[in-house]
Structure 1
Amino acid sequence: MRQSRVLRLLDRLEREPRADAVIETVRKGVQALPLGDGRDLLHGRWLGHPVHPLMVQVPIGSWLSAAVLDLCPGRSREAGLLVGVGLAAAAPAALAGWVDWAELHRRQQRVGLVHAVMNAAAVGLYTASLTSRVRGRGAAGRVYGFLGLTAVAAGGMLGGHLAYRQASGANHAEEVPYVVTQGWHRIGAVTEFPADQPVRRSVDEVSVLVVRDAGGAVHALAERCSHLAGPLSEGTVSDGCVQCPWHGSVFRLSDGWNVRGPATAPQPAFDTRIIDGHVEIRLRQGPDGQAADEAEAAQRRTGTGVHGHGS
């Protein structure tokens, strides 16, 4: 079965560099916005995943509902109200989207820029729709509304491509508990880990960041950043944290907590111990669900037929 024409166009868009100069200018502009702690709020660090997909439900839902009412005689007034609600909610949703977009890879930003253009077109069309309705031109208002919904649908398709095909906003460290085998793993002699220097090791083909602090305590986290898989072993270690070299996310070494975004998910952490001068690590699990997670991981590796955590 051949690849669909839409996917071919999207793949071509990902590789198209002609808008890169515009992308770079806009990216710097968004990163320069004086948002302070509001930047992490817009990333959704408090929520545990990006907040932009949640915020866009209001304008999309309002505009879709307005389209349904526009198909019903005598409901133009209510439809106009919903168009206005959608326009009011579009601005904060767009701001959250731009803040996330500025911290993506270039291929993702190329798709995201067109996604934003389609959404901007939708806002323009719905603004024209609301203006027409206020001026008593109901038929024109409905036409602009249906055109706006078409633009929203195209933008939503591109947003889905970003989220599911390109994995923007996904937790890139989520699979670690299902890949690393249970028990302790020896990763090297203590002397191989200079104080306060990030070192990369591997356990079950999973990259692990190891840092021995000045007091001799050893910390270990999944090495690929949960934001976009940046190499934390190439990052900066200071004040008990490591900063991702790609987009600046900061994680606490003691437990992997994401102190600062754009990462919205913490890093999987490992317990550590020193035996006979060698460092050993074990994937850290809470008391609830440890056995279930280990059983599920074993089933995935062996292909046995037991499913679910309640078996």
Structure 2
Amino acid sequence: MEKTTRPRRTGLLPRIVPSPNLLEGLERTTTLDRPIAALAKAVRRRLGPSRLRDVLHGVPLGHPLHPALAMVSAGCWIATAVLDLTRADPRASRTLVAAGLGTALPTATAGLADWSALHREQQRVGFVHAIMNLTATGCYGGSLLMRLRGRERAGRALAFAGLGAVSAGAYLGGHMAYRQAAGANHAESVSHLVPLGWHDLCALKDLPNGRPVRRRLGYIELFVLRLGDGVSVLADGCSHLAGPLHQGRVTIENGEPCIVCPWHNSVFRIGDGSVVHGPATSRQPAFRTRLRHDGVVQVRPAD
């Protein structure tokens, strides 16, 4: 019987970079679920449906705010490491450490807002991500204190420890963004998936008035809402985390009908799919509609 051997992992890189299996194990572990659930609930209750919550999610920007702020803090601290390695002007290093600390609080606040509206598997990784970043912030706070007291060597040592922690946090953040799709648009434009022209969807008489339903156009799931003789159509999967919009509730915001996602309460304007309230930041793909003479509703992607 032929003996098979598993390929050996050689080199330094596999020992430095965590295995994806390790992070998948972190996604499945339930050890921290109790504090995670309590913290997420407290954050959601504290923010509530408010303008502040929308700003923290990045609704006015059209994409999450937390990654943009995190780049500022991390950039300041990476630049600090370069200056420390070259023994450059200590005042410049102190300035960069302080600038990174100054942006750490708004960065963490925006991150908490996003984290509180994620799935539990994403929250588990995000919780450790937050711990690593808090550790880094503590190290850089101590580094600044040591530098101000003239203890430059101790300040540099704490800064390099902080850089290690923030790098680990960034790795976990990348796993959340690219492997778990946290913060990604889950309702990308579907216009390239639909052939040109108008397409029959269903008969108007088959649609309940005032209650959203799901219909299919080829293999695309659509949210369909009839209001009298008018029909509005959006992509059904919420752009935040792909929640089924047809299971949501219809509400009125600023005099216009909107749909509230049943998963995390993102609110979209039914007429054009634009975001009214987060945590979603990307609009829902919308469709134009028309009623054929025989009562069949036709759709095509909106311009």
TM-score of the two chains, using structure 2 as the length reference: 0.90
2:67 corresponds to which of 53, 60, 66:
53
2:232 counterpart of 1:219: yes
- Is 1:242–2:259 an aligned residue pair? yes
* Aligned: 1:17 with 2:12: no
* Contact in 2 for aligned 1:181/1:204 (Cα 8 Å): no
Which position in structure 2 is the counterpart of 1:293?
none
> Hey, what's the Cα distance between the residues in 2 that align with 1:61 and 1:163?
19
3-state SS, counterpart of residue 32 of structure 1: helix
Cα separation, 2, equivalents of 1:249 and 1:73: 49
Distance in 2 separating the partners of 1:185 and 1:7? 43
Alpha-carbon deviation of 1:76? 2.2
What whole-Å deviation, never above 9, does each CA across 1:80-129 have from its counterpart, x for those lacking one? 22111111110001100110111111111111111100000000111111
Q: Kindly tell me: are residues 134 and 218 of structure 1, through their superposed partners in 2, closer, same or farther at Cα, counting changes over 3 Å?
A: same
Separation in 2, partners of 1:74, 1:268: 51
Q: Which moved more, 1:32-41 or 1:271-280?
A: 32-41
CA offsets 1:46-92 (integer angstroms, 9 cap, x no match): 11100111111221111111111111235223212211111111000
2 CA distance for matches of 1:184 and 1:223? 19
Q: CA deviation at 1:175?
A: 4.4
The letter of the residue matching 1:277 is: G
- Residues in 2 aligned to 1:85 and 1:206: alpha-carbon distance in whole angstroms: 47
Of 190, 193, 201, which aligns to 1:179?
193
Which of 115, 119, 122 is equivalent to 1:101?
A: 115
Please report how far the alpha carbon of residue 34 of structure 1 lies from its aligned counterpart in structure 2 after TM superposition.
4.2
Question: Which residue does the alignment assign to 1:273?
Answer: 290
Distance in structure 1 (CA, Å) of the matches to 2:196 and 2:119: 33
- % of aligned pairs identical? 50
Given the alignment, which residue of 24, 34, 44 partners 1:31? Answer: 44
More off after superposition, 68-77 vs 133-142: 68-77
- The secondary structure found in structure 2 opposite 1:47 is coil
2:71, 2:88 → 1: CA distance? 26
State the alpha-carbon separation in 2 of the partners of residues 165 and 154 from structure 1: 16
Aligned to 2:3: none
Kindly report structure 1 stretches of 4+ aligned residues shifted beyond 6 Å. Answer: 1-4
1:231: which partner in 2? 244
Matched letter for residue 27 of structure 1: A
Q: 1:42 aligns with which of 22, 36, 56?
A: 56
* Contact 2:223–2:246 (CA under 8 A) maintained in structure 1: yes
The Cα RMSD (Å) is 1.6
How far residue 149 of structure 1 moved from its aligned partner, in angstroms, is: 0.3
CA offsets per residue over residues 244-280 of structure 1, 9 Å max, x none?
0000011111111111111101111111112211111
SS of the equivalent of 1:158 reads helix
Contact 1:256 1:269 in 2 (8 A): yes
Counterpart CA distance in 2 for 1:221 and 1:169 is 20
Instruction: Give, in whole Å, the separation in 2 of the partners of 1:229 and 1:62.
Output: 35
**Contact kept in structure 1, 2:250 and 2:259, CA below 8 Å:** yes
CA–CA separation in structure 1 for the residues paired with 2:100 and 2:247? 43
Normalised to the residue count of structure 1, the TM-score between the two structures is 0.88
What is the SS of the residue equivalent to 1:55?
Answer: helix
Residue identity opposite 1:172 in structure 2:
H
Q: 2:8 aligned with 1:8, yes or no? A: no
Taking the TM superposition and a 5 Å limit, the aligned residue runs for 1:180-195 are 180-195=194-209
Corresponding letter in the other structure for 2:68: L
Q: Is the 8 A contact 1:129 1:142 kept in 2?
A: yes
Does residue 86 of the first structure (1) align with residue 93 of the second (2)? no
Partner SS state of residue 118, structure 1: helix
- The aligned counterpart of 1:131 is 145
Instruction: State the aligned residue count.
Output: 284
Quick one: distance in 2 between partners of 1:220 and 1:72? 59
Secondary structure of the structure 2 residue equivalent to 1:248: coil
Deviation at 1:2, TM superposition (A): 9.5
Unaligned residue ranges in structure 1 (runs of 5+) = 286-311
Using the alignment, how far apart are the partners of 1:197 and 1:261 within structure 2?
23
> Following TM superposition, by how much is the alpha carbon of 1:136 offset from its aligned partner in structure 2, in angstroms?
1.7
Residue number in structure 1 paired with 2:131 = 117
Structure 2 match to 1:283: 301
- Where 1:173 maps in the other structure, the secondary structure is coil
